[in-house]
Amino acid sequence: MRNTDFSPLYRTAIGFDRMASILDNLSRTDQGQGGYPPYNIELIDENEYRITMALAGFTESELSIQSEQNTLTITGNKSEDTSGRQFLHQGIAARNFERRFQLADHVRVQTAKLENGLLHVELVREIPEAMMPRTIEIQNASAVTSTPKEATLNTVPNKVA
């Protein structure tokens, strides 16, 4: 019952088509992933996040991270094992994957590091100064000084004889 029809959202929500597309894409990509590789998303600070993925057996050269238009894509391409090993049981998944994350506006990837089989991707939200809240000073009407135009009207012209 994970199939959800988002088509009614497209008919009734004007200007929110991006949100409906995101929800629709999330439901499609989660079905094909099968939960691999497992990951955590942490809130580190008010504007800092961390994605941690369990990638046992992968090296830095087998991983690719791309950030493009509010989408973070992490791809793993496991190289073929040519050592001729024969497994009786292989419990460590070492298959290719592609995991996509939808990022909010103004969220960018800061760093990524592979440590002890865990990939840590640090994200930060940087709100432009023009979009930050600001306080507007309220002026008292009696404290407003006269404009230069009013000042010139009150002057007496010099008489030339």
Residues in the chain: 161
pLDDT in tens, 60-102: 999 999 999 889 999 999 877 667 778 888 888 778 999 999 8
The pLDDT, as a whole number, for residue 48 is 93
In this structure, whether the domain defined by 36-128 belongs to CATH 3.40.640.10 is answered with no
CA distance 36 to 53: 9
Residue 152: pLDDT above 70? no
Residue 20 structure tokens: 């409906």
pTM, two decimal places:
0.63
Contacts of 58 (CB under 8 A, 6+ apart): 76, 78, 94, 114, 117, 119
Place of tokens 């008489």: 159
Residue 149 burial (CB count, 10 A): 7
Residue 39: pLDDT above 80? yes
52 pLDDT band, cuts 50/70/90, is very high
Residue 133 structure tokens: 């809240």
Beta strands across the sheet bearing 48-54: 39-45, 48-54, 118-125, 107-115
- Domain locations in the chain? 1-34, 36-128
Q: Supply the DSSP string of 48-109, one letter for each residue.
A: EEEEEEE-TT--GGGEEEEEETTEEEEEE-PPP--S----S---S----EEEEEEPPTTEEE
